[in-house]
Amino acid sequence: MSTDHDHTTQQKTNGGTAAWRAYLPAITAFVLLIGGIAIDQLSPQFWQQPWWRFVWYLAAYLPVGWPVLMSAVRAIGKGDVFSEFLLMSLATIGAFYIAEYPEGVAVMLFYAVGELFQNAAVKRAKRNIQALLDVRPDTANVMKDGVPVETPAAEVKVGDTIRIRVGDRVPLDGKLLSDKAAFDTAALTGESVPRSIEKDAAVLAGMIATDKVVDMQVTKPFGESSLARILDLVQNAAKSKAPTELFIRRFARIYTPIVVTLAVGIVLVPMLVADPYVFNDWLYRALIFLVISCPCALVISIPLGYFGGIGAASRKGILLKGGNYLDVLTKVNTVVMDKTGTMTAGVFAVQEVKPAAGTDAQRLVGVVKAMEAHSTHPIAKAVMRYADGTNVGEATNVEEISGHGMRGTVQGQEVLVGNAKLLRKFNVAYPPEVDAVEETIVVAAIGGAYVGYLTVADSIKADAQHAVTELRTLGVRDIVMLSGDKTAITQRVAVKLGITKAFGDLLPEDKVTKMQEVKKDPTAVVAFVGDGINDAPVLALSDVGIAMGGLGSDAAIETADVVIQNDQPSRIVEAIRIGKATKRVVTQNIVLAFGVKAIVLILGAGGLATLWEAVFADVGVALVAIVNAARMR
């Protein structure tokens, strides 16, 4: 531990030193520039020879200007002649040529400050991604002969048993071997509320054991864990450029040579018409034009805006596989969603208890619980959760009857628990309403007499209805639910959520057909939300596929464009909002850059703007745009 601590401390020290060195050129240039301007104004006689003044400002220029000059040379060497570095170099060298030294230094200084702001903003946007990297444990305690042995996580094999102590982070995916335990899932879902995980259920890398020491069996190698997949998604997200970002890159390559050509024209054309023609005056105007025209604000702040959007989304447990999907999310007007695991919890829960006349509801639940304690079926687990605390004694002589249910003895009486077929098999009369129930049903009989039933169904997620309401607020005109579950159950869930179009009894190919029907509308921009293997084809077919990633299938997560890590439907709304906010910031930066530049260009062409105004129109606007982009949270 001490070694890790020393290493971390050394990293922080090195990072602090590197940060200070990054600011040193700008500080040096600033001090020399302010000193030179002060001498110009208060004691110009200090410059006994004109070259003294030149040397002073050259010393101020080089710390911030030399890197730009070298960048221009390297860009030309790679065939990228007309870069923003060339514009800056031409403008500042020209300023020195006409002895406007302070302006030349100021252009480079403010450009350097803008770069520092940009780097700081990018670091802040990356901070959440780095936090994910920091939560990946490098070692695991592998159980060998009953003793935990610390082993590199990459060397742990599938099938190995590892021990997780309280406060430790799970290093690999696996299944819980210990009894029920609580885990903090914040690293995966963004939610700090502990999740209770049952024995044999999945435990994912990145979770933290919160209440006791547990053992788990590894089910996936280190490189294929949920956390590794998340890291890969986020780290590669910025590689996928948004259309706006790609446009600006292409625009800059065409725009820059046009600007240089016009600047040359500003110097040479007046030679034919102006009388008298003063070369330095027109050169100065051309330099102003060059500085104003530099596309720094656009080239820097637009990618930063998208990167900020990706970072803001990841902080909320929403992983985007590229900035381009932020653009698509802003246009979504149709949302098609799966039911089970997406809008419902995907876990059975007792919905209703219907005792027969003369039967106590608590006794009905207690008897059913006693019998279901002998089953591992998901329905049995749902009953056990619901009946926790209810006790009428243990069931004995329990016999499972395949496809029907169970027969046993509770408190000396024969008990039947199962479906209606079980009661018919043993000639137990029951009311017709039992056969009309559409949900999954658990019917019970005691001593040969019907005593009631429980309905068991998938429960709707707590924020599902709110998500549907908010989607409509955001301008989503059509919301469609598709499910492989019974049509009647699907319709009932849809009505509760306020969804008017719902289709059940669908096979995977039926879902594809329904999606194709939705996409026949040329104005529809469709997002599909799902979590199962059977949802992968529809996710691929949609304009933007959104997967529930907390407990979703690997196929769905790999196919999707956006992954919701905490499985909350409300995060779909959040993803669209972040997309719209990103688009807003990017649009603001484009309008700001072009608006200010156009005004100062007009003033510069008329001789009413100096290089100082040009500096603001370029670097000042870039700074404002960077700060605006950094607002993405």
Asked if residues 605 and 95 have their Cβ atoms less than 8 Å apart, the reply is: no
Output the six-digit token pair for 475.
């301008």
Instruction: Return d(Cα 487, Cα 506) in angstroms, integer.
Output: 9
Asked if residues 300 and 619 have their Cβ atoms less than 8 Å apart, the reply is: no
Largest Cα separation within the chain, whole Å, is: 119
The DSSP call for residue 623 is H
Q: Which residues contact 580 (CB under 8 A, 6 or more apart)?
A: 329, 330, 474
Instruction: Return d(Cα 95, Cα 29) in angstroms, integer.
Output: 16
Residues in a beta bridge with 344: 340, 460
To which H or E segment does residue 400 belong?
strand 395-401
Q: Are strands 440-446 and 413-418 parallel, antiparallel or unpaired?
A: antiparallel
Q: Which residues contact 534 (CB under 8 A, 6 or more apart)?
A: 484, 507, 508, 511
To which H or E segment does residue 318 belong?
strand 318-320
Instruction: Return d(Cα 69, Cα 404) in angstroms, integer.
Output: 82
Shortest CA distance to 426 belongs to which of 454, 410, 397, 406?
406
Instruction: Return d(Cα 619, Cα 485) in angstroms, integer.
Output: 59
Chain Cα centroid distance, residue 491: 31
Q: Which residues contact 459 (CB under 8 A, 6 or more apart)?
A: 344, 345, 347, 349, 351
Instruction: Return d(Cα 94, Cα 284) in angstroms, integer.
Output: 8
Instruction: Return d(Cα 214, Cα 204) in angstroms, integer.
Output: 13
Active site residue 338: yes
The DSSP call for residue 170 is P
Instruction: Return d(Cα 343, Cα 463) in angstroms, integer.
Output: 9
Instruction: Return d(Cα 521, Cα 517) in angstroms, integer.
Output: 8
Asked if residues 101 and 53 have their Cβ atoms less than 8 Å apart, the reply is: yes
Instruction: Return d(Cα 7, Cα 314) in angstroms, integer.
Output: 28
Does residue 430 come out as left (phi exceeding 0), alpha (psi in the -120 to 50 range) or beta?
beta
Catalytic residue among 184, 327, 338, 458: 338
DSSP string, 415-483: EEEE-HHHHHHTT----THHHH--SEEEEEEETTEEEEEEEEEEEEPTTHHHHHHHHHHTT--EEEEE-
Chain Cα centroid distance, residue 300: 21
Output the six-digit token pair for 554.
């690997």
Shortest CA distance to 565 belongs to which of 537, 546, 542?
546
Looking at the annotation, which residues are catalytic?
Answer: 338
